[in-house]
């Protein structure tokens, strides 16, 4: 038994030195205090890293199919009334959403930015009590009133009892309303009078779009849009204006839900128009993003980069459609963010590395200082130190 204990004693990698041979110095004490502070600071830093989640980033190919893309927006036009502002969306698959009104809210604002009225996106008034009869004449027995669509009827029994219904029928036909005063419904509702009354107002438009997850665009522009000879155009003649001020401020543009750390580069961007009828274009590169928090909750979202371009309707150039256009395309690469904790074994390994590393470096430094002091002292004793 004593032989086994003796063999184990010979394996001791930490031989003990008798305290009688210790030589403590002032420099060694200073180095010990400094190294202890360094070890404490590094330990606290490592402990904070262990207690807080870290985010791992990965890039993978986006293999999702048949998904939808939600576009959230909040844009303010300080010099464009709500009554003439419209929103359109279209994509390369051929799907079009012209004059979008669902899930859209408009706020009328005055020149100082104060809200005058908040309403869902709509133009026009309630149905008039006694609209025109399409065939004229007086009301016969059991005959109901039916306003004329002025040649834009699809069927004989179609009725347009408001100015908005006439304009909508014209839009579907691809026609422009050149003079609203020639349409009795618009004249009765005071369409042009309302447009003039809102002159000098602005509009804050916010909501969201649900579109196909393919490349496309959406834009804010004055007038009702329609297709004419396979060309997307806007009816601007009805407002009887020579120019439109498209100054705007983008309060928020995002694709998908919010997740921690997301940065939307267009938030807060503001443009003051220098030339009338300017066309503002934003080219967006949308990157699908998946964020998984520490609790395993997953958020499907997107982030994007942007390039801006402004086109003015200068003399001698082709007439551009005034408005704010957002052209977006999807990246084939998906970014995944995963929040995780550092493992306890990794934390323990780092702590051991900190203690051992600082102890070793401070030992080397102490040895260098100690032997340096001894060498200098010896030279001073023999008078060779200058």
Range of the domain at 80: 60-126+201-339
pLDDT of res. 60? 92
The packing angle between helices 26-51 and 344-381, to 10°, is 160
Q: Based on the domain organization, do 213 and 240 belong to the same domain? A: yes
Contact 227, 176 (CB under 8 A): no
Question: What distance in Å separates the CA atoms of residue 33 and residue 35, rounded to the nearest whole number?
Answer: 6
Integer Cα distance of 183 and 162 in angstroms: 10
Reported as half-sphere exposure (CB side, CA atoms, 13 A), residue 267 has a value of 10
Tell me the whole-structure pTM to 2 decimals.
0.69
Residue 255 placed within a domain = yes
| Same-domain pairing of 240 and 292 | yes
What DSSP line would sit under 72-98, residue for residue? EEEEEETTS-GGGEEEEEEETTS-EE-
Torsion of CA 24, 27, 28, 34, to 10 degrees: 150
At residue 304, φ and ψ (nearest 5 deg) are -150, 160
Q: How far apart are CA 222 and CA 216, in angstroms?
A: 20
Cα atoms in the Cβ-side hemisphere of radius 13 Å centred on 280: 22
Per-position pLDDT tens, the chain of length 386:
777 777 766 665 556 665 565 667 777 788 888 888 999 999 998 888 888 878 889 999 998 888 899 999 999 999 888 888 889 999 998 888 888 888 889 998 988 878 887 877 554 444 444 444 544 444 444 456 678 888 778 777 778 888 878 877 877 777 777 777 778 888 787 777 777 777 788 999 999 999 999 999 999 998 877 766 667 777 776 666 778 889 999 999 999 999 988 889 999 999 988 777 888 999 999 999 999 988 889 999 999 999 999 887 654 444 678 899 999 999 999 999 998 888 888 889 989 999 889 888 888 888 888 778 778 878 777 776 66
Q: Which residues contact 1 (CB under 8 A, 6 or more apart)?
A: none
CA neighbor of 304 nearest in space, from 264, 270, 332? 264
Domain contains 149: no
Q: What is the DSSP letter of 342?
A: P
CB 59 within 8 A of CB 333: yes
Cα–Cα nearest to 163, from 144, 145, 150: 150
**313 and 210 assigned to the same domain:** yes
Both 210 and 308 in one domain: the answer is yes
- The length of the chain in residues reads 386
Partners of 323 in the β-ladder:
279
Residue 135 maps to a domain: no
| Pairing between β-strand 248-255 and β-strand 269-271 as defined by DSSP bridges | antiparallel
Describe the chain by its helix, strand, coil percentages, rounded to 5. Answer: 30, 30, 40
Do 248 and 321 sit in the same domain of this protein?
yes
pLDDT value of position 255: 95
Same-domain check for residues 308 and 358 = no
Let me know if 99 is exposed, middle or buried by CB neighbors in 10 A (0-12, 13-18, 19+). Answer: middle
Q: Are residues 213 and 322 in the same domain?
A: yes
Q: 366 and 234 share a domain?
A: no
Contact 185, 162 (CB under 8 A): yes
Query: Contact at 8 Å (CB) between 293 and 339?
Result: yes
Has residue 350 been placed in a domain? yes
Domain match, 235 and 367 both: no
> What is the domain count for the chain?
2
User: What pLDDT score does 261 carry?
Assistant: 84
Does residue 348 sit in the same domain as residue 272?
no
- At residue 121, the pLDDT reads 58
Do 260 and 232 share a structural domain? yes
| 221/292 same-domain check | yes
Q: Is residue 332 part of a domain?
A: yes
**Residues 6+ positions from 244 with CB-CB distance below 8 Å:** 80, 84, 222, 236, 276, 277, 322
Letter string b/e over residues 270-286, b meaning 16 or more CB atoms within 10 A of that residue's CB: eeebeeebbbbbbebeb
Q: Does residue 151 lie in a domain region? A: no
Q: Which residues pair with 233 in a beta bridge?
A: 226
Question: What angle is formed at CA 155 by the lines to CA 151 and CA 160, rounded to 5 degrees?
Answer: 60
CB 337 within 8 A of CB 291: yes
Rounded to 5 degrees, what are φ and ψ at 40?
-65, -45
**Residue 164 counted as domain residue:** no
DSSP 256-289: B---TT---TTTTEEE--SSTT-EEEEEEEEEEE
Considering the domain boundaries, does residue 176 fall inside one? no
Backbone torsions φ then ψ of 359, nearest 5 degrees: -60, -40
């Amino acid at each position: 038994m004593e032989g086994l204990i003796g063999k184990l004693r010979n394996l001791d990698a930490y031989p003990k030195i008798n305290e009688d041979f210790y030589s403590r110095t002032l420099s060694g004490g200073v180095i010990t205090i400094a190294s202890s502070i360094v070890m404490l600071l590094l330990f606290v830093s490592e402990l904070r890293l262990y207690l807080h989640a870290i985010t791992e980033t990965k890039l993978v190919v986006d293999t999702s199919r048949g998904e939808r893309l939600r576009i959230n927006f909040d844009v303010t036009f300080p010099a464009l009334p709500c009554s003439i502002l419209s929103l359109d969306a279209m994509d390369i698959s051929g799907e079009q959403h012209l004059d979008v009104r669902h899930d859209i809210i408009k706020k009328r604002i005055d020149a100082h930015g104060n809200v005058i009225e908040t309403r869902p996106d709509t133009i026009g008034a309630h149905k008039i009590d006694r609209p025109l009869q399409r065939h004229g004449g007086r009301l016969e027995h059991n005959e109901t009133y039916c306003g004329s669509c002025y040649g834009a009827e699809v069927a004989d029994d179609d009725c347009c009892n408001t100015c908005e219904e006439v304009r909508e029928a014209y839009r579907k036909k691809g026609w422009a309303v050149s003079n609203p005063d020639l349409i009795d419904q618009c004249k009765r509702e005071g369409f042009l009078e309302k447009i003039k009354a809102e002159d000098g107002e602005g509009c804050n438009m916010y909501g969201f779009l649900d579109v196909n997850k393919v490349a496309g665009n959406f834009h804010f522009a004055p007038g009702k849009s329609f297709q004419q000879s396979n060309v997307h155009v806007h009816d601007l003649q009805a407002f009887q204006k020579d120019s439109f001020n498209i100054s705007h401020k983008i309060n928020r543009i995002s694709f998908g839900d919010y997740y921690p750390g997301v940065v939307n580069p267009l938030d807060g961007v503001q443009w003051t128009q220098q030339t009338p009828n300017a066309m503002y274009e934003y080219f967006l590169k949308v990157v699908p993003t998946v964020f998984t928090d520490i609790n395993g909750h997953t958020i499907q979202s997107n982030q994007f980069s942007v390039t801006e371009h402004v086109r003015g309707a200068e003399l001698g150039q082709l007439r551009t459609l005034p408005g704010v256009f957002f052209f977006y395309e999807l990246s084939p690469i998906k970014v995944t963010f995963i929040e995780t904790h550092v493992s306890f074994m990794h934390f323990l390994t780092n702590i051991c590395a900190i203690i051992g590393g600082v102890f070793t470096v401070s030992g080397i430094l102490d040895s260098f200082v100690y032997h340096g002091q001894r060498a200098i002292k010896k030279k001073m004793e023999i008078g060779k130190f200058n």
